[in-house]
Structure 1
Amino acid sequence: MAQRHPDPTDPRSGHAGPAPTGDTLAGYLRAQATEFLRALRLHRETGSGANGPDGSADAARALRRSARRVSASLHTFQSLLDAEWSDAMRPELAWVSGTLAMEHAYTARLERLLTALHRLSGSTALPSQGPVPAAGRPAAGPRTPPAPGAERGNLTVGAAKAGALLDRQLTLARTRAHSTALQALGSSRFHAVADRVAVLASEVPLTATATATDLRPLAAAAEDRLRDAVTALPLITAGNPYNAAALIHGLAPDTAPHPQDAPWHQVRLLLRLHRYAREAVRGEGTGETAADPRLRAAGLALNRHRDASEAAAAAAQAARTPRIAPATAYALGVLHADQRHEVEAARFAFQQAWQEETVCAS
């Protein structure tokens, strides 16, 4: 019998040695399923304990992380998995991850906006009527404040009321998201998902040919989709210090998401799929420490882009509140413009990180 030689290593996969196959994927999925079950147990143990809020937040974050990785792997390597099972599992995992993410998103958005108001108004205290909750996302970096004079006075006067308005709106949204998450975790739908994940922790429904199929072409296809999406981005515009077109419709009556942002959000999702595919090919249990520094920098820039985009939308939505004072509306308008500046800065940061990644890969 002729000796079988391993396939050449795909330099983009970072995998050395024999070709990773469906067995490698099965090990990765079992590890992520185990992480999901461990986080679920932690959430149940800490939910009503003395340190419940912090423990529950950490557990919810771990649940989201493992659910995203399993769902992404089912998407990228769907041809190696039972189609009926995969098609039924993916939307349920997306529902779990999305539902658990909302409370954290509103908390971080409120902190970002109040911190920006504080910075822009030059006040000595955050312009809020109550304490600002902790959040896991970093606040926006320093920006050049508005010119002194009447504008500064109007901004300072309106900042407190704008902060109070944002505090009321986003705290209400966060409370509703918290209730929704609690209801979801106690629902029969979630228990069904947990049962399926428990089965996945011991048995992965691979196809008959999966154990002989190389994972690297499928992972390379995920990378190609990412590169195609990045190529379609207006990176030349992102290199400009200011994109005035991004503000034209910011405070218009139309509440639809900003049309410029959608391609960038899509690239963020594709970058995540690419990262998780690399993890699966390498058989890594987690990518938090092993991720390529350049990919991590690009991902952080896109996260910052998403945060600033959503914060700008929240400021614009608050500015549409009926019968608010002119000073309040002015402060919210300045805040909206500031966050759109942050969007542009994040696009530029992604451009720099991606160009470095492309040069190093060539």
Structure 2
Amino acid sequence: MHSPELSRDTATAGEAVAHYLHTQAGDFLRSLRLHGESGADTAGASEAARALRASSRRISGTLYTFRPLLDPAWADGLRTELGWLSATLALEHACTSRLSRLLDALSRLSGTAPLPPARTEVSLRYAVASSRGGATDSTTGTLPNAADSAAAGATPGRDAASGEETADAAPLRGGEADRGNEDRPAGPAVNGTGSAARGGALNVGAARAGALLERQLTLARTRAHSAALQALGSSRFHAVADAVALLASELPLAPAAAGPAAETLGLLAEVAERRLLDAVAQLPLGRAAHPYNADALVNGLTTATAGEEQDAPWHEVRRLLRLHRYAQEVLHPDADPVLCHAGRVLDHHRDAAEASEAAAAAARTPRIAPATAYALGVLHADQRHEVEAARFAFQQEWRRATATVTAP
């Protein structure tokens, strides 16, 4: 691992962590104020909630990585509460995004909406890899630091204000399907990807499948909205806000925080990096290097538990990659995010996996028509293909990044 160098003159590790946490606490409090001022402005409230989640994740991740420099009881308690808040606020947006994703996919699959000019960046990567003869497995090496990420081919593309990947709102699609056709009666299939008979069979159940998904996910979104409002008005949330407000002015440090910033922070960031490297080494990247290997699809057609188990390691890598990136932000405050595009790919993987679970859950609804179940099955398979495409794209990103920093 490259020896980290702070971009500003910081005497101790405690001062560097305190500066970063003070900044994130200020963002949290500003987002909270904007959320309170948004009122009936749904878009404004949604953006404020997104910013609250982003700052909550950064504070929580920093408390986890640099826990030895802080009062452990205080850090663990605040991290738990911030995790609760972030998860509660994310539910409503997750339901909204999932519904939009599934309805767009149904329209595309049934031929009731035109295919976007560039469906997904992942699909383009399939074509590139096929023309180059595929890719090789590369699971070892040292992650690039912020300065190396540009040379490694990582595409920043982050939120201009915070560098956050807009965790739930950064799909890799090049365009969005026409949503105006969702309620139009289904016609014959004209997408050219299957026979007219197959398209007709899908169209029969697509409208009812869309209505079923909309009913289920709208109900879930309404419940999530009510839960978020209840959480924001609870004494538990006010206690979290008070703790973050104190964090903006003071930070309970441990004796280890008096060590040199570059050396002390570098050792702790290296631990986070090693966890990420170990988790990636457990992924089947060699298999994922082959386009359309169908592992994600075949495993996704097994029981719900088996599907969740095979997705879990990828979700864990996504979490560890985020922690690694936050640690690098402490070490290199003014640099571009590390492996930002790889994080976006894993966001896409998570979204597709959860959408496939929603389609499978809808298909298990009692007494639905066979055509509706068929449409939901096709939708489930489509989302599992998106999962597989995201795994392929992540393998490409990881191989390119690690190959750059390990080259002689």
TM norm structure 1:
0.87
Amino acid in structure 2 at the alignment position of 1:164: A
Match of 1:6 in 2: none
Is residue 323 of structure 1 aligned with residue 367 of structure 2?
yes
Match of 2:337 in 1: 291
How much does 1:97 deviate?
0.6
Give per-residue Cα distances to partners, 1:173-220, cap 9 Å, x unaligned.
111101000000000000000000000000011112302242111011
How much does 1:151 deviate?
1.2
Match of 1:199 in 2: 246
- Say if 1:28 and 1:280, in contact at 8 Å, map to a contact too: yes
Q: How does 1:20-31 map to 2 (within 5 A)?
A: 21-31=13-23
**CA pair 145-322 structure 1, distance change in 2 beyond 3 A:** farther
Amino acid in structure 2 at the alignment position of 1:281: L
**CA pair 351-145 structure 1, distance change in 2 beyond 3 A:** farther
**CA pair 115-249 structure 1, distance change in 2 beyond 3 A:** same
Is residue 41 of structure 1 aligned with residue 33 of structure 2?
yes
How much does 1:32 deviate?
0.5
CA distance in 2, matches of 1:145, 1:101: 38
1:235 to 276, 285, 291: 285
The DSSP-based 3-state class of the residue aligned with 2:310 is coil
Give per-residue Cα distances to partners, 1:53-101, cap 9 Å, x unaligned.
1111111011000000000011000000001101111110000111001
Amino acid in structure 2 at the alignment position of 1:171: T
Amino acid in structure 2 at the alignment position of 1:223: E
Q: How does 1:31-110 map to 2 (within 5 A)?
A: 31-46=23-38, 48-49=39-40, 52-110=41-99
CA distance in 2, matches of 1:110, 1:139: 17
Q: How does 1:301-320 map to 2 (within 5 A)?
A: 301-320=345-364
CA distance in 1, matches of 2:174, 2:60: 33
Q: How does 1:126-137 map to 2 (within 5 A)?
A: 136-137=169-170
Match of 2:157 in 1: none
CA distance in 2, matches of 1:91, 1:53: 28
- Say if 2:297 and 2:388, in contact at 8 Å, map to a contact too: no
Is residue 267 of structure 1 aligned with residue 267 of structure 2?
no
Bigger relative contact order, structure 1 or 2 (CA pairs below 8 A, ≥6 apart): 2
Q: How does 1:145-156 map to 2 (within 5 A)?
A: 146-156=193-203
CA distance in 2, matches of 1:335, 1:194: 41
CA distance in 2, matches of 1:118, 1:139: 18
Amino acid in structure 2 at the alignment position of 1:240: H
- Say if 2:5 and 2:332, in contact at 8 Å, map to a contact too: yes
- Say if 2:7 and 2:333, in contact at 8 Å, map to a contact too: no
**CA pair 147-30 structure 1, distance change in 2 beyond 3 A:** same
**CA pair 210-14 structure 1, distance change in 2 beyond 3 A:** closer
| Residue correspondences, number | 336
